[in-house]
Structure 1
Amino acid sequence: MNEEVQFIVDSAKENMDNAIAHLESEFLNIRAGKATPSMLNGVKVEYYGALTPLTQVANVNTLDAHTITIQPWEKQLIPEIEKGIMTANLGFNPMNNGESVIINVPILTEERRKELAKHAKAEAENAKVSIRNDRKEANHELKKLDISEDLLANAEIDVQELTDSYIKKVDALYVIKEKEIMTV
């Protein structure tokens, strides 16, 4: 196969890998009932005038399946941590005991589970759109090349097979996440 063609196909594969990686990171942000430190990844805290990720100013751990504890490295950060959690709008109500911040993660209702599953489905669809856009871009780049029609047709088939395999990966990831969300 022509080097330029191979480069375009490899580039499309890399972009599709990025779409899958992004989907996986988005799925980590969708909670499935169990408390995990990653639930607070998006929380920023005002620290010496700069918004700083929570994990850079405190230890974040789970005590049990429904409790997250945040142990700040400096006690005066406790109000800022509580404010950051409230600002992140995660639906948590932080409490402090003077030493650390404690978050009780509520058990998900059936309605909330369905809402989260719908959100996960939307993220999966976004990943599919991204993968299809990568296919479209690759096909567009292939058509710009000065190659034979047979080579172009074969390259387009390769790109389509690649697209189909990544769409299947997205579907598989969604099925796993949906099951995780809907399991009580």
Structure 2
Amino acid sequence: MSEFEIDMDALEKRMDGALNSLRNEFASLRTGRASASMLDPVTVDAYGSSMPINQLGTITVPEPRMVLVNVWDKSMVNAVDKAIRNSGLGINPQMDGTILRLPIPELNEERRRDLAKVAGQYAEHARVAVRNVRRDGMDQLKKAKAAGMGEDDEKLWHEEVQELTDAVIKKIDAALNSKQDEIMQV
């Protein structure tokens, strides 16, 4: 090997970060089953800033089609209710004191197709992020070649970066297929 090294660990860590981000986005997609993580992207204007719901109350899933949010501060119940209604999740909370009940309706076929498309968009964003990391790795290679790296070493590193990219994109596609199957399941 030469004295020129490409930091594959850093590239792999960044690509895995894109994959983990995708998995978090998939967890927030509603599939007809209740999940506490479906409220993760919802933020509430509280105490002069934007806060996630889990910092304002306890989120529980007592049954497959129900999510409960027990808001700790009674003055924040209306703000949490408004944030959930405006989130685009298609859920209408029912207030019971400081507890918000979120009944999860059955998904119709059209909504399932829409959610599958959204999952596809999330996956495409992850693929773009991985390709951007790949481009950064290729830029490192160009700089190393300009600094005197041999063609054989460059080709070796190029193949290694490409193999890593292909492997992560394959994982993204597998996660997408799995999520779309879960969404379309009746």
What is the TM-score of this pair, normalised by structure 1?
A: 0.92
CA displacement at 1:94 relative to structure 2:
1.0
Q: Shift in Å at residue 125 of structure 1?
A: 1.6
| Match runs of 1:65-104 below 5 Å | 65-104=64-103
Quote the residue 1:20 is aligned against: 19
Q: Distance in 1 between matches of 2:3 and 2:175?
A: 33
Relative distance call for 1:21 and 1:94 in structure 2 (3 A) is: same
Q: Could you tell me which amino acid in structure 1 is paired with residue 120 of structure 2? A: K
The CA distance in 1 between the partners of 2:18 and 2:2, in whole Å, is 26
Answer yes or no: is the 8 Å Cα contact 2:4–2:149 preserved in 1: no
1:1-184 alignment, distance < 5 Å: 1-2=1-2, 4-7=4-7, 9-145=8-144, 146-184=148-186
| 1:156 counterpart letter in structure 2 | H
Q: Which amino acid aligns with 2:164?
A: L
Indicate conservation of the 8 Å contact 2:6/2:140, yes or no: no
For these two proteins, the number of residue pairs brought into alignment is: 183
Q: Secondary structure at the match of 1:33?
A: coil
Gaps spanning 5+ residues in structure 2: where?
Answer: none
4+ residue stretches of structure 1 with deviation over 4 A? Answer: none
Tell me the alpha carbon deviations over residues 49-71 of structure 1, each in whole angstroms, 9 at most, x when there is no partner.
33322111111111211111111
Secondary structure of the residue that 1:5 maps to in structure 2?
Answer: coil
- Unpaired runs of at least 5, structure 1: none
User: Per-residue deviation at 1:89?
Assistant: 2.6
Q: CA RMSD in A?
A: 1.6
Indicate the percent of aligned positions where both proteins have the same amino acid: 37
Instruction: Give the whole-Å Cα distance in 1 for the aligned partners of 2:110 and 2:152.
Output: 53
Deviation for aligned residue 1:137: 1.8
Deviation of 1:3 (Å): 5.5
Structure 1 position 172, deviation (Å): 0.9
> Residues of 1 paired with 2:96 and 2:39: CA distance?
19
Equivalent position amino acid for 1:172 in 2: A
CA distance in 1, matches of 2:77, 2:49: 16
Report the TM-score, using the length of structure 2 for normalisation. 0.91
2:112–2:184 Cα contact (<8 Å) kept? yes
Alpha-carbon distance between aligned partners in 2 of 1:69 and 1:42, rounded to the nearest angstrom: 16
